[in-house]
A and B are shown apart, each in its own frame.
Chain A
């Protein structure tokens, strides 16, 4: 057994142990911490599967941002955490059997891959040079399956609309809570003063490099959102009221630009979301830049949660 396979076996064992403890541990807070660790371990598994783009996304969104959301939820619901009754033993055994069946089915499917493995990779590599991009995943996201990517951003905005709609009527247009994190600690302020500029450079780098190497608008936007949240949580800046025009403008800027370029494709190229020959890369970079800002704001506001206080003035 080579060192790499020893590492893989250890990694898988660790992922399964942490995943199981996420389910079994009693305290919700501990479960969320386990989940963040699970996300980070999973991103190492993605690197081992040679999918570095996915690894970055998993670490940033799956572990980091989802973990932040869940931690906030645990902190908010701590007072009403009653811990209802678990289901009885027969039902639990039946569930176990059901889960074992599902696992067995999936495992059989994994152990017996088809004779001829279907792949679109050669087709992607054939057409990629036309777009001027170097990263095949970015090529799929912005050229071959651009509609998916556009709709994904719309889903993000819809989720944000949904979260905002759950605010009580009196708080509509007001500021998100975030008070569960609020603690005026000099150490936190120190970090919030030093780290965000570095994070900004790194976020822009992630977005820019996505065209040729692993990275992209989403990973870069997540870094920017994290920096923004850090500044807000440290109390150096207030969370913006959701009624602010600039906020809403930034939120829709990315999808609107994407949509506009897509519609222009009907005029200048031959189809919706088609790029005119020779202009694909600059257009994609422009879309990615706008999307990075929109994603950063959307993620930040999603993590901040529904508005809780009415806007002052």
Chain B
């Protein structure tokens, strides 16, 4: 097994770990964290694809690499937006988790 395949399997496993955290953890902040973890795994898969497409004089195909750079930036922007949303939600409802008993923000406001 060469290094690219090894990192490919690592990326695949990271996607699984991130997906598990995204589904099971009820705290929005932890969901954001898990989503970023998942994203890191997907980017790594792109890196492996780029590495395998290397030609003479290059370490990898620059097109997927450039796409990953763009993707990291967009993921950051989305994370910043999501965190701001979670914080506003927390300010409005006084709770920092989406538990199964609250159907929406209105519900939470009545309780708090």
Pairwise interchain contact B53-A5, C-beta atoms closer than 8 A: no
B16 on the A face (CB < 8 A):
yes
Q: How many residues of A contact B (CB 8 A)?
A: 93
**B33, A22: Cβ atoms closer than 8 Å:** yes
Check if A95 sits within 8 Å of B29, measured CB to CB.
Answer: no
Q: Number of residues in B with C-beta < 8 Å to the partner?
A: 80
Expressed in whole angstroms, the Cα–Cα distance for A162 and B86 within the complex equals: 13
A113 — which chain B residues lie within 8 A by C-beta?
52
Partner of B10, one of A45, A92, A98, A139: A45
Chain A 117-128 near chain B by CB (<8 Å), digits 1 or 0:
111111011000
Main secondary structure of the interface of B (DSSP, over half): helix
What's the Cα separation between A53 and B73 when bound, in Å?
A: 13
* Cα separation A31 to B68 with both chains bound (whole Å): 24
Q: Report the minimum CB–CB distance from B106 to chain A (whole Å).
A: 18
Q: Which residue of A lies closest to B20 (CB)?
A: A99
A122 touches B63 (CB 8 A): no
CB distance from A76 to the nearest CB of B (A): 6
B26 near A120 with CB under 8 A, answer no
| Chain A residues positioned under 8 Å from B7 (CB to CB) | 8, 12, 45, 48-49
- Asked if B65 contacts A53 (CB within 8 A), the reply is yes
- Report whether B29 and A141 are in contact in the complex, using a CB–CB cutoff of 8 Å: no
Complex contacts, A195 vs chain B, CB 8 Å: none
Task: Flag B17-60 by CB within 8 Å of A: 1 or 0 each.
Answer: 11111011111011011101100100111011011111101111
- Check B72–A58 contact: CB distance below 8 A: yes
Q: Are B29 and A28 in contact (CB under 8 A)?
A: yes
- Taking a contact as CB atoms under 8 Å apart, the answer to whether B72 and A84 are in contact is no
- Determine, out of A66-74, A181-189, A245-253, the stretch whose residues face the partner at the interface: A66-74
Q: Do the beta carbons of A107 and B12 come within 8 Å of each other? A: yes
> Contact at B84–A306, with CB atoms within 8 Å?
yes
User: Are A45 and B37 CB-contacts (below 8 A) given A28-B29, A57-B69, A103-B12?
Assistant: no
Report chain B residues within 8 Å CB of A122.
Answer: 55
Flag if B51 contacts A49 (CB, 8 Å).
yes
Residues of A within 8 A of B (CB): 4-5, 8-9, 12, 15-16, 19-20, 22-23, 28, 31-32, 35, 38-39, 42, 45-46, 48-51, 53-54, 57-58, 61-62, 65-66, 69-70, 72-74, 76-77, 80-87, 91-92, 95-96, 98-100, 102-103, 106-107, 110-111, 113, 117-122, 124-125, 136-137, 139-141, 144-145, 148-149, 152, 155-156, 158-160, 162-163, 166, 216, 218, 302-303, 305-306
